[in-house]
Structure 1
Amino acid sequence: MFYSVIVRFYAKRDIYFSYYPAESWHGMLFKMLRKQDKDKTTILHDEYEGKPFTISPILPYLRWRKDKKYLKGGKKYFVRITFLEEQWYHLFMEYFLYQREKLELNGRELEIIEVLTNAKEDKRCNAISGEELWDNSRINRKIKLKFHSTTSFRVDEKHVIFPQGEFLFNSLLSKWKEYGDKELVVNSQDFGKINISRYKLESAMEQFKDYPIKGFRGYCEYELEAILSDKKVKEINLLSDFAFYSGVGYKTTMGLGQVARIR
């Protein structure tokens, strides 16, 4: 199962970040999971190559103040967290059931308002199996995606800041092979037959603790060449829908690569 969860919260006092704020949420999430099961969380941290979760930026986006990102005390914010394995979703939800310890972000206490898991509560929430994603996928040869947060692809030690089909769908296929429950026949060579038809993108850069990361945000439309079989087109559509849960590219566990399909 794949899960998308919304966590609404506020800080009791102002918080200033000298680096990308979602990096702090990443650290806090690991602390929460470790409280529930230290051994499992150590395995997650040390042995998983592609992590089975993503974290969005803190939303609404933080403004600048005194040359730092600024989270205003008392104001309501949220993050979206996705899980690609059931065990981590359950550990995360159990934290809110059994732990009474206050959460802290950058040393400031947070108050959790609510944790939403149902699409009826928020359309960005959901729980769906890989089989359901497959059943819902269509044979569309035009695909439109919105890159909600800064996105970057790491290729040969360089950051690629344009969503070419090969980089985008190789990233998705790699995650699907780890966490999907259906073997696909589509491969990297097929992704060279996915062409960008239109785009409206802007460049962006996010400052992490150790280095800045360049990327892009915006919209991109793709067209699939006629030579691709209907089966492969359906699989590419599956991967496009999977992107909502898996994220794409680099640092998806720290706020980057949040993407969703537009129909």
Structure 2
Amino acid sequence: MSREQQIYSFVLLLAPTEHVVVGATAGHQAHAAFLHTIEEVDPTLSALLHAPGVSTRPFTVSPLRGLGRPRAGQVQLAPGRECWLRFTALDPAIYQRFMARFLSGAAPVLRLGPAAFLVKEIRTTPGSHPWAGYSSWWELADRARPEPEVALRFCSPTAFGFGQHAWGKKIAVLPDPVPVFSSLLRAWNNLAPPALQMDRGPLLAYLEEHVVIKRLERLRTEMLHYARSPQVGFVGEATYGLMADDEGARLQLNTLAAFAFYAGVGMKTTMGMGQVRRLSDAR
């Protein structure tokens, strides 16, 4: 794998083509639209991305943003009302196939359920939009510094699943450091080049013994209403203290904090949940 292999975060500026009513929770529809866009160019890749039993999917999908305040779980949009979606691709082939669809001369329209949106612009260049950018696996690792504090902003509802029980699925909705960084570590080790793999055992031991929550700000829960069932998650800001002076562990956790911008955190990151960024990167 090339040291220059890129990972991408790209933002679609959208406008409805007519008066539409959309659900305030549109992550599942955006997920379907993303896969359909890939399918139009590369059906095999789309099928692979949708295959069951995959522990880490190499893309994420944001909620539909810029909607305004919903009423009864729905939002009315007039033609020309700009909103936006953000996708990430942790494999360059995904980004290339997605962009090929809109470079092919076909109508630049994205459908979210019954609603059609004109794709006015796609922004990927860093600085062109707060959620646009690109990097490489090696750059994320090379730019990390052993900072003793890491602050993350959880921008869409975030939650962690801990298995099915007789009474239902156990869900955690707190920014505890172990599930937050374990989620990022799992995604990193499943998708990053072999040379950059992190030793899971020692890093988890450091997490459990030496990483604490130092500050929580604007923390609250929010409910998403998917087609099949509601899903609760937390949003807000958390600052983590990396207390033991272990440069290697601090470097790895700072790398994972930067990676959160592309990978997301927790469950259902391909349906709008777990959109996270390092707080220093958001300022």
- TM-score over 0.5 for the pair: yes
- Whether 1:107 and 2:114 are equivalent positions in the alignment is yes
- Whether 1:247 and 2:264 are equivalent positions in the alignment is yes
- Whether 1:170 and 2:182 are equivalent positions in the alignment is yes
- 2:236 aligns with 218
Equivalent in 45, 58, 73 of residue 40 of structure 1 = 45
Shift of 1:141: 1.0
Shift of 1:187: 2.9
- SS, match of residue 63 in structure 1: coil
For structure 2, the residue ranges without an aligned partner over 5 or more in a row are 1-5, 164-168
Within 2, Cα distance between the matches of 1:61 and 1:109? 15
- SS, match of residue 147 in structure 2: coil
Shift of 1:62: 4.2
1:112 is aligned with what amino acid? V
Mapping of 1:144-155 within 5 angstroms?
A: 144-155=151-162
- SS, match of residue 78 in structure 2: coil
What is the CA deviation profile of residues 75-115 of structure 1, one whole-angstrom value per residue up to 9, with x for unaligned ones? Answer: 00011111111110100110101151443222222111100
Equivalent residues, number: 261
Give the TM-score of the pair, scaled to structure 2: 0.88
Shift of 1:190: 2.0
Equivalent in 83, 91, 96 of residue 97 of structure 2 = 91
2:241 is aligned with what amino acid? E
- 1:68 aligns with 73
Within 2, Cα distance between the matches of 1:120 and 1:167? 30
- Point out the more displaced range, 132-141 or 151-160: 151-160
Shift of 1:155: 1.5
- 1:15 aligns with 20
Within 2, Cα distance between the matches of 1:36 and 1:71? 31
What is the CA deviation profile of residues 142-195 of structure 1, one whole-angstrom value per residue up to 9, with x for unaligned ones? Answer: 111111111111113311010101100110001001112212135322221211
Within 2, Cα distance between the matches of 1:170 and 1:149? 19
- 1:56 aligns with 62
Within 2, Cα distance between the matches of 1:172 and 1:71? 36
What is the CA deviation profile of residues 173-229 of structure 1, one whole-angstrom value per residue up to 9, with x for unaligned ones? Answer: 010011122121353222212110110201111111111111111111100121x52
**Partners of 1:149 and 1:255 within 8 A in 2:** yes
**Partners of 1:63 and 1:71 within 8 A in 2:** no
Identity of aligned residues (%): 27
**Partners of 1:62 and 1:71 within 8 A in 2:** no
Aligned-residue RMSD, C-alpha: 1.6
